[in-house]
Amino acid sequence: MSNMVLLGDEALAIGAVHAGISAAFAYPGTPSTEITEYLIEYSKKHGAPIASWSSNEKTAYEEALGVSFVGKRVLVSMKHVGLNVAADPFMNSALLDIKGGLVLAVADDPGMHSSQDEQDSRYYADFARIICLEPVNQQQAYDMTREAFDLSEGFHIPVMIRLTTRLAHSRAVVSVSEPRQENPMEKTDNPRAWMLLPGYARKRWADLLSRQKDFLSYTEKTDHNELNLNDSNRELGVITTGLGHNYFMENFGDFREKPSYLHIGAYPVPVEKVRALVSHVKKLVILEEGYPFVERYLRGYLPPPIPVLGKETGEVPPSGELNPDNVRKALGLPEREQAEGAAVELPGRPPQLCAGCPHADTYFSLNEALAGYDRSIVTADIGCYALGALPPYEAIETIVCMGASVSMAKGSAQAGYEHVVAVIGDSTFLHSGITPLVDAVAGDIPMTVLIVDNETVAMTGGQETILPSSKLEPLVRGIGVDLDHIRTILPLKKHFDENVKIIREEVEYPGVSVIIALRECVETAKRKRRS
């Protein structure tokens, strides 16, 4: 046993190493990025496990399946919206006969600190009918990850670990134990359980359904689902999930009569324990970090036997994060006294492009190039350049999901709108921008893709892009974009006029054109200089 100070993400990562993983795959995404960053550093030092970024979450998940297929343990991690991208392999993998432990770590972002939505991944675990573990602190992130691999191999399913932002990005001391060895290489002895032909898949699905009772009997027994009944207080009961537990405990000391409570850290929901709590009390409060997942199941369609207070009824805020204060209010405890606010008005300070950022120069040129047209559209994508939505740029009009800039531009141009430009980063292009560009070339659509290539995955902290910049131009050419309409610009103030001219020429071209605005991220360049 030894102690380490770790982020929740890092505790999960070292838990996976100590569980004997042979490989780990991921696409960077806040708040999950530090899992794989830690593993890549660990691997550099120790020579194992394999730890690498993938093109996107779908390829990462499928690569992980390949590792599991040969009997080895593997971790795949992503942010919540990344699981939408990986949903196809994820859902189907629940039907496979997993022997090499496969654990999916997914980090949700309630409050949308760095995301487009605050979807709750527990629905995905439920959708796939697998087990999900949800740690409440760094120690549990370590312990549960180790256990998740045993569960995966014991129940022959992928197991999900769900983190949320505050745990992913909070540090505490973690005590770690003896590492386990890697599994031996052993290809599956049950190939029919890996070929989801309809005839085989039907059997696998029936088999998965028949094992639900085993999963449930595990979650009814495990200590992760802690039922604590106070016989001297039959009034208030509390169900907590995720970090709701911590904020409940922060306020626990202020109850004169301690409420009975159930904390759920392992899913499927332990139904008997829920029933035991409900029959013990007269009123129930549900505190969940994320969607009202347990709450909505518990309410169902029929009136509950006792009042249930939560996100559906408004005692708990239905969106955003829980915190010690909104939980305190939901529990009916008196508000704490606070210091007075400042007597001056404080303007907000939203995030912005860094000083000297190449995207800033690109946006100024793009705005000027499009200034003369009555009709134009600029679709954009997920990355630092999404900050081009804010003043002084106000250069873009859509931000939806990875790759959507290119596909949406194609749709708008095909519908007949003129002067359509898609702005997409180098890493986002490789993640999900190539396939819609194939669509655009196939349809010979009049549109321009502006790849803002800063040679790094900047938003998540400067990870290496999966392919170097030198490969982008040949890639675009290979898809079939006309060589005369693949242009590279250097986004610097001194090239402003020239860049405006090039952008305008390509916007005027009645076919698919690609402009690569190539200049390294200033932050990445700074980091390289320092090291």
Q: Is residue 348 within the footprint of other proteins (CB under 8 A)?
A: yes
Complex with other proteins: residue 289 or 506, whichever CB lies closer: 289
The yes or no reply on residue 320 touching other proteins (CB under 8 A) is no
Which of 125, 353, 395, 445 forms a contact with other proteins (CB under 8 A)?
353
The C-alpha atoms of residue 264 and residue 247 are separated, in whole angstroms, by 14
Near other proteins by CB under 8 A: residue from 187, 202, 275, 336: 336
| 303 near other proteins, rule: CB under 8 A | no
Structure tokens at 517: 């605005």
Site for other proteins in 181-220 (CB under 8 A): none
Stretch that binds other proteins, among 31-39, 219-227, 395-403, 431-439 (CB under 8 A): 31-39
Residue 33 CB neighbour total at 10 angstroms:
26
- Which of 345, 415, 416, 483 binds other proteins (CB under 8 A)? It is 345
Q: In what order do the strands lie in the sheet with 159-164?
A: 50-53, 21-26, 73-79, 102-108, 159-164, 132-133, 266-267
DSSP output for 65-131: HHHHHTT-EEEEEEEHHHHHHTHHHHHHHTTS---S-EEEEEEE-TT-SSSS----THHHHHHHT--
Choice between 372 and 391, CB closer to other proteins: 391
Contacting residue, 23, 144, 160, 459, with other proteins by CB under 8 A: 459
Instruction: Quote the CA–CA distance of 51 and 26 in Å, as a whole number.
Output: 9
Q: Enumerate residues 214-243 that contact other proteins by CB under 8 A.
A: 243
Type of residue found at 379: T
| # of chain residues touching other proteins (CB under 8 A) | 53
Neighbours of 63 (CB within 10 A): 20
Q: Which amino acid is at 266?
A: A
Kindly state whether residue 418 participates in binding other proteins, applying the rule CB under 8 A. Answer: no
| Token duo for residue 397 | 């009009």
What's the min distance (Å) between Cβ of 345 and other proteins? 7
Under 8 Å between Cβ of 421 and 389: no
Binder of other proteins out of 2, 232, 338, 470 (CB under 8 A): 338
Q: What angle do CA 313, 243, 309 make, to 5 degrees?
A: 15
| Residue 34 binds to other proteins (criterion: CB under 8 A) | yes
* Smallest distance from other proteins to CB 333, Å: 11
* Contact map string, positions 79 to 98, toward other proteins, x by CB under 8 A: --------------------
In degrees, rounded to 5, the angle at the alpha carbon of residue 153 between the alpha carbons of residues 148 and 158 is 60
Binding site for other proteins (CB under 8 A): 5, 7, 30-31, 33-34, 113-114, 166-167, 169-173, 243, 245-247, 249-252, 323-325, 328, 336-355, 384, 387, 391, 459-461
